[in-house]
Structure 1
Amino acid sequence: MNKKFALLLVLMAALVVGSVTSASAAEIKATGQWQIEADLNSNWDFQEKGAVSEDKTLNISQRMRTQFQFIANENLKGVLETQIGIANWGSGALGIGAGRSGNLTGAGSLAAGNGNIMLRKGYVDFKWPGTKVNFLVGFQGLSLPSAVGGGSPVLDDQIAAAAAVVPITEGLSLVGGFGRLFDSNASYATTAGSLTGSHSAGDVAFLYANIDMIKGFSIQPWLAYANLGSNVAGSGAGATTLAGFNAPNASANEGVRAYWGGAAFTMTAFDPFKVMADFNYGKATWNNQGATNKAEGGRSGFLFDLAVDYTGLSMMTPSVFFAYSSGENGNSTEGSGKSERMPVVGTPQNYALGSFWLQGGDTLGASFYSTDTTIGYWALGLSLKDIKLIDKLSHTVHLIYFKGTNDADFLKELVPGTGATYGQFLTTKDSLWEVDVNTKYQVYDELSLGLELGAIMPSFDKDTWRAVNADYANYGSKNAYKASLLLNYSF
């Protein structure tokens, strides 16, 4: 009798454990993008006799992004995305190591060391019971609205954040939240200079609306505000030491208060024409908490872009576009000490015109791209997108002219670290042409083979750049080229 009773208890326990396990089980869905790429680069320093040799270098690199969704039900899931690389072949076994390396000077997915298995996203996605309000809490991708360029030029990265998507009506929803951009007061930090004091964090709050009430018209007005401490990048290293906030009249140990506003606009009412436009404005002022420099400083500026696509052709989509970003006025240190370039957060990942000088394309890193160094230009371009003449084979062609909007006199008063780099920073006397021819062959639905070819023909003013380095007057402006062969497995 005791044996039967004991057996009954075992069976009941198994049923209970089984029911609990069943109730806790989650469907797991895996997606990813694995890329292997060979890049042949020529003369990326643009210099005829440059001190840095950038001529005819061949690199083979790879990156593996894998995302897992742990789906409990239609209202609740967890998202985990990892990344290995970008790492070059030949640098060990891709330098693979567990964990995310502490980095006090960077933010988002690019802050980890090359080759590490790093956390790119890790957040909980759920709807509040009985409502359609969606919450996303954890380390996630955040990009402010953008209609042109593939992403926001202000903020487009992976950050720790809590966001909410609130449907109001069928054509109106609000998205808002809070994010922690930086925190150098971190117990896990491995970089020298980690803190135990205050003013070590940087936060951002954001709000935007998705308005799609009239057929063929949509607009996304948005606002963002950031407050970053005077020790945000390490002890005595404030926000003004970070890319996107530095300016001529800045001390290292200064905090920043910054705000941005703008709108992304898309119109398809006049089909087959599609019109897209953005306006971005930002202003940053120095918070002199603990700073030795009490002079007035800061930076403010804007970026506007416009693109028109013609979608009436089956074999391609022609597009014309224009962009303008404000530049330095040339008397920053002698005058107010302020910069006239728009402040940005970190290095936005996706904004680009073309696929070379401002990144773009599908390549892993073959570009000169850094928002803080390139901002201050106007551009006019023509693209022929998604040219399809043969089955499974497509092409995209870009032709773009860039001209600087930064006053050439700015280089005469240049302060180190304020983002004027030869070949990336364009003055009103500098310009360049870019030509790209990109080809993709779809081997399978999930596997593609690509070839991206690019050329940049620059014209940099020798006398202007002599103020930075006398040798620039002797280097000349030499064309830069790239050829990238890509293997991309998406699943």
Structure 2
Amino acid sequence: MKRFIVLALAACMILSAAAGASATEFKVSGSMWAGYDYVNIDSSSDDTNNFIQRMDTQVDIIATENLSATTLFRIEQTWGQSGNNLGAGSGGALGADGVNVSTLRAYVDFLVPSTSLKVRAGIQGLGLPGAVTASSVLDNDVAAIVLSQSFDSVELTGFFARPYDSTGSNSSTMDLFGGVVAADLGVATISPYFMFANVSGSVDADGNIFNDDLYWAGISAEAAPMANLALAFDGVYGKENGKDAGFALAGKAAYTTEFMVPALVAWYASGNDDDGEGRMRSIDDDDFSMTTLIGAGAMGPDSDNVFGSALGKWGVGLQFEEISFVEKLSHTVRVTYVRGTNDASEDITNWGDDDSATEFDVSTIYSMYDDLDLLVDFAYAVTDFDSGAAADVDNVFKAAAIVQYNF
């Protein structure tokens, strides 16, 4: 009997060891927030006035340090809206039932055996380098295969992505091929890159028509030449086959002090001439955000791109970031002058070279607990639009408040 008990215990130990060796670890993280957003454009009778909530849940499925998979799902409702209870933002009306779960990311990570080559395949976040702000060409979730390899202070990255593919009578496809070199030079880091878009057919991407191949070449750089001083620069040149080329430049100088980080920022992005060409084409320019109202720079849940992208505009601004005199409370204050670079005025998002605005932004973050923040965001812009559909807009006001739990 004793021998049987010893054998049984030994078998259990062997089985438990085997199970432990092959066990898969699950890690869950994400955020949940609910917020209010108000935007007033003085010439508009239909102000934005929304309550929105969103929950992002990321699940990492880790087999070993060399193999894992990741999914990221989003549930979002706009209060009072149903949208036939289907799609993002729906399910917020009375009853609150809706099919509103979207897949943001789903990819696998692995290391090629006997090498240090990393591979990521699936729907993932992919962005070209950006030191001042996110890339003006591409920074979004997309179906892609990314290869990366490190050599001491240099990292090489190559990728293939397919952002668009439609079938049927109007079949059209866009494939992206690109590479990035990130070199750490000690006092500075530089990241030159190149991307080519192979376009088949006529791709309609959110109202942007791509009829031919495109390419971009750029560089991003960061430097710390002295204590507390940080410099950043982004530059990119892009061209669509058969059309005029365009470019975008951005720079930032920031100095860290005990109570705040004052910074000077500036950018210039080419605009369209009278032939309708000259503004740099972009796959996704929302995150090229220089102010609260330009690009996706707003904290508020539903007021991005009030003034459109930073492309086709130039600007200069003074910023005071991380202002903190009270524990757990910080502020950001920005004053920015912006002017259009397009030949003609079209609307509130596409500015001519006679259109301008001065924008004032104030953002506050209060950390109630380690994982719970209250965010308040204000923006006010005094505009001077010369002509076009927005000629009667004199000012724009935005206010937002969000409570966010990170887990």
- Shared fold, TM over 0.5: yes
**Corresponding residue for residue 363 of structure 2:** 438
Whether the 8 Å CA contact 1:357–1:434 is kept in 2: the answer is: no
1:406 aligns with 2:406: no
Whether the 8 Å CA contact 1:301–1:326 is kept in 2: the answer is: yes
Q: What does residue range 465-476 of structure 1 map to in structure 2 within 5 Å? A: 465=388, 476=392
**Offset of residue 15 of structure 1:** 9.2
Q: 1:300 to 1:14 in 2, by over 3 A?
A: farther
Whether the 8 Å CA contact 2:30–2:56 is kept in 1: the answer is: yes
**Separation in 1, partners of 2:296, 2:154:** 33
**Offset of residue 348 of structure 1:** 3.7
Q: What does residue range 84-483 of structure 1 map to in structure 2 within 5 Å? A: 84-85=75-76, 87-92=77-82, 95=85, 116-149=100-133, 151-168=134-151, 170-185=152-167, 195=168, 199-212=171-184, 214-230=185-201, 238-239=202-203, 241-243=204-206, 245-246=208-209, 255-285=211-241, 297-311=242-256, 313-332=257-276, 339-345=277-283, 347-368=284-305, 375-408=311-344, 420=346, 422-461=347-386, 464-465=387-388, 476-483=392-399
Whether the 8 Å CA contact 1:84–1:96 is kept in 2: the answer is: no
Across the aligned residues of Structure 1 and Structure 2, the Cα RMSD in angstroms comes to 3.0
Stretches of structure 1 lacking an aligned partner (at least 5 in a row): 1-9, 99-113, 186-194, 231-237, 247-253, 286-296, 333-338, 412-419
Residues 139-169 of structure 1 show CA distances to partners (whole Å, capped at 9, x for unaligned) of 10000001012x111011111111111112x
Letter in 1 for 2:279: R
Letter in 1 for 2:180: Y
**Corresponding residue for residue 403 of structure 2:** 487
**Separation in 2, partners of 1:115, 1:449:** 28
**Offset of residue 128 of structure 1:** 1.7
**Corresponding residue for residue 292 of structure 1:** none
Secondary structure of the corresponding residue to residue 293 of structure 2: coil
Q: 1:198 to 1:439 in 2, by over 3 A?
A: closer
**Separation in 2, partners of 1:299, 1:142:** 27
**Offset of residue 118 of structure 1:** 1.3
**Offset of residue 452 of structure 1:** 0.4
Whether the 8 Å CA contact 1:157–1:348 is kept in 2: the answer is: no
Whether the 8 Å CA contact 2:173–2:199 is kept in 1: the answer is: yes
Count, aligned residues: 396
Higher strand share: 2
Residues 263-311 of structure 1 show CA distances to partners (whole Å, capped at 9, x for unaligned) of 00101122221110000111112xxxxxxxxxxx535200000000011
**Separation in 2, partners of 1:40, 1:97:** 23
**Separation in 1, partners of 2:138, 2:79:** 31
**Separation in 1, partners of 2:99, 2:287:** 21
**Offset of residue 354 of structure 1:** 1.9
**Corresponding residue for residue 293 of structure 1:** none
**Separation in 2, partners of 1:63, 1:302:** 35
Secondary structure of the corresponding residue to residue 287 of structure 2: coil
Q: What does residue range 37-76 of structure 1 map to in structure 2 within 5 Å? A: 37-43=35-41, 46-47=42-43, 50=44, 53-55=45-47, 57-76=48-67
**Corresponding residue for residue 104 of structure 1:** none
**Separation in 2, partners of 1:13, 1:342:** 67
Secondary structure of the corresponding residue to residue 264 of structure 1: strand
Secondary structure of the corresponding residue to residue 110 of structure 2: strand
Stretches of structure 2 lacking an aligned partner (at least 5 in a row): 1-7, 89-97
Q: 1:456 to 1:115 in 2, by over 3 A?
A: farther
